[in-house]
Copies of this chain bind each other. A is one copy, B any other.
Amino acid sequence: MSEIVKIVEVGPLSGLHHEQQKLTAEQKVQLIRYLKNAGLQTIEAGAFAPAHVMLNLADSSYVVEGLSLFSEGLTLPVLVPNLQGYENAMAAGAEAVTIHLSATETFAQKHLNCSIEESLGRFLPVVEKAVANHIPVRARIACVAGCPYEGTVLSSQVVNLAEKLHKMGVGEISLEDTIGVANPAQIKRLLFDVTSSVPLSKIALHMHDTYGQGMANIYGGLEFGVRTFDSSIAGIGGCGFAKGAAGNVATEDLVYLLDGLGYASGVDLESLVRVSHYVADLLEINPRSKTAHVL
């Protein structure tokens, strides 16, 4: 039997957030339905954050309600920035949440509007409540390899934060190379250091393709033993830090790799490529996946 790799589809959340063309709540629900039909089982679905430009509160409530119609067998984490967001998400029917932190102070200040320590304080009651109510929490740590403001990031900065999140009760910690500067050797060193205090089974990788290294970094992660990877349908989302630059690794290219290596992701590549073209058409872009251009 093939070994299982879990894909966390982030297109409907982080992907759409960075695209110029906006989708309606109905279109988002439809997109998630198609992604599910292609075999994806974990999809970051929306955000309960007033400041989150694209997915405002009302919209995400609508998405979560729409999703309840077919969400059997799906895990649909929604981004919550604080306890209020968590309560709103729960009120709307969400059953899993994502929290977002940063490994560097400057990125935290500029993008999360607080210090790293403050964000931990802010998320502590969220995680405590979630754990008490059996709501899975995943944490994404931005800038694990490099920061647009501070440059190279030491793994000690990540280790410290990951350990605290793990002790809080966070179930999955996604290491995000937000600006795509990592190389596979760096990723392996980081994983080596982080897994000194967090079990490997709780670690996910969220690789960006800014310099074309996303797939090599994922392969490095697979070699190390990581079995959970974030990716974005059609590579949507781009890069928030350099116009025209690539962002998230495309889910199609990731599935192509996993199929080739013999891992079971549960995703059907041909169906997925159809979803890629569907969302690219809605957004009036070309799919940023190489695979989608061939199949």
Contact = CB atoms under 8 A, between A and B. Distances in A.
A211 B294 contact: yes
A83 interface: no
A291 interface: yes
A246 interface: yes
A212 B291 CA distance: 7
A256 B294 CA distance: 26
A290 B211 contact: yes
B260 A210 contact: no
A213 B183 contact: no
A11 to B, nearest CB: 16
A213 B185 CA distance: 17
A293 B288 CA distance: 14
A183 B290 contact: no
A294 B242 contact: yes
A289 interface: yes
Query: Which size bracket describes the interface of A in this complex?
Result: 20 to 34
Interface string A129-170: 000000000000000000000000000000000000000000
A225 to B, nearest CB: 15
Nearest to A210: B294
Contacts of A250: 212
Interface string A166-209: 00000000000000011111100000000000000000000001
B290 A260 contact: no
A291 B245 CA distance: 8
Nearest to A209: B290
Contact of A212 (B182, B239, B242, B289): B289
As for how many copies of this chain the complex holds, the number is 2
A242 B293 contact: yes
Interface stretch (A39-47, A63-71, A84-92, A216-224): A216-224
A293 B245 CA distance: 5
A230 to B, nearest CB: 16
A90 B177 CA distance: 50
A212 B256 contact: yes
Interface string A270-295: 00000000000000000001110110
Contacts of A262: 185
A290 B216 CA distance: 14
Sort A-B residue pairs by CB-CB distance and give the 4 closest, nearest first.
A183-B260, A212-B253, A212-B290, A216-B219
25 contacts: A181-B260, A182-B260, A183-B260, A184-B219, A184-B261, A185-B260, A211-B256, A211-B291, A212-B250, A212-B252, A212-B253, A212-B256, A212-B291, A213-B253, A213-B256, A216-B216, A216-B218, A216-B219, A216-B257, A219-B219, A219-B220, A239-B294, A245-B290, A245-B293, A246-B293
